[in-house]
Amino acid sequence: MGATHRLLGAAAGVVWAGSQHLGPGQTVVGVAVAVLTSAGGTSPDVDQSWAWRRTGRVLPARAFGHGGPMRHRGLSHWWGLPAGAALWLAAAAPGWYWVAAAALVGWGSHLLGDLVFGRHDVRSARGPGIPLAPWWGHVGLGLDVGGTLERLVMQRLALPLALAWLTLDHLGLAHPLWQRVSQAVVSARHG
């Protein structure tokens, strides 16, 4: 799912950069930060890292209930963390807000991917998707991670095409390209 998470992070980063009217340099950095925080150890999947798991072994998971906060798709996958950080960021508005916001965009795109493709976990008895509460009450579509839909449609078709179109749109090239394609189709029909 790493490739899907990175593509989602890039697409979300481009959309966010366009909505914020960032310049080219900030857009490149913002998209890179969103991709960085969309997959791997700097994403919600930090809960699969050695340090996270080691900490989880020290905490009394049973005392927390629902499998504890340190399991995969637990606390680090809770939507409330990036939502709270976004509220703080909006209130504080530091000069570097756009870098932190880009990180939250990537983190959020990971959660969106897991909401769609995160399956029920038999070992932890967690439901599909992501937690509504800090580490329990999972909801999601539960589609097959690594399945045909994710691999062929998301990784090889829909997300790459969407990312290309969003990038062209952000650069102001999508509309002229669409006009040329439309004119070529009309000419071919009447030609």
Contacts of 34 (CB under 8 A, 6+ apart): 9, 10, 12, 13, 16, 102, 103, 105, 106, 109
**Biggest alpha carbon–alpha carbon distance for the chain:** 74
Taking alpha carbons only, the member of 123, 106, 158, 142 closest to residue 2 is 106
Q: How confident is the model at residue 125 (pLDDT cuts 50, 70, 90)?
A: confident
pLDDT for residue 146 is more than 70: yes
What mean pLDDT value characterizes the chain? 91
pLDDT of residue 6: 97
Mean pLDDT of 52-67: 81
If one counts every other C-beta atom within 10 angstroms of the C-beta of residue 34, the result is 30
Q: How many residues does the chain have?
A: 191
Contacts of 139 (CB under 8 A, 6+ apart): 115, 127, 128, 129, 130, 132
Q: How confident is the model at residue 3 (pLDDT cuts 50, 70, 90)?
A: very high
pLDDT of residue 36: 98
What does the block give as tokens for 119? 């399956």
**DSSP state, 139?**
E
Q: How confident is the model at residue 152 (pLDDT cuts 50, 70, 90)?
A: confident
Rounded to two decimals, the pTM is: 0.87
pLDDT of residue 191: 67
Most confident of 59-63, 69-73, 81-85: 81-85
Least confident of 40-54, 94-108, 176-190: 176-190
Contact 34, 9 (CB under 8 A): yes
pLDDT of residue 56: 86
If one counts every other C-beta atom within 10 angstroms of the C-beta of residue 35, the result is 25
Mean pLDDT of 142-155: 89
Distance CA 46, CA 53 (A): 9
pLDDT of residue 1: 84
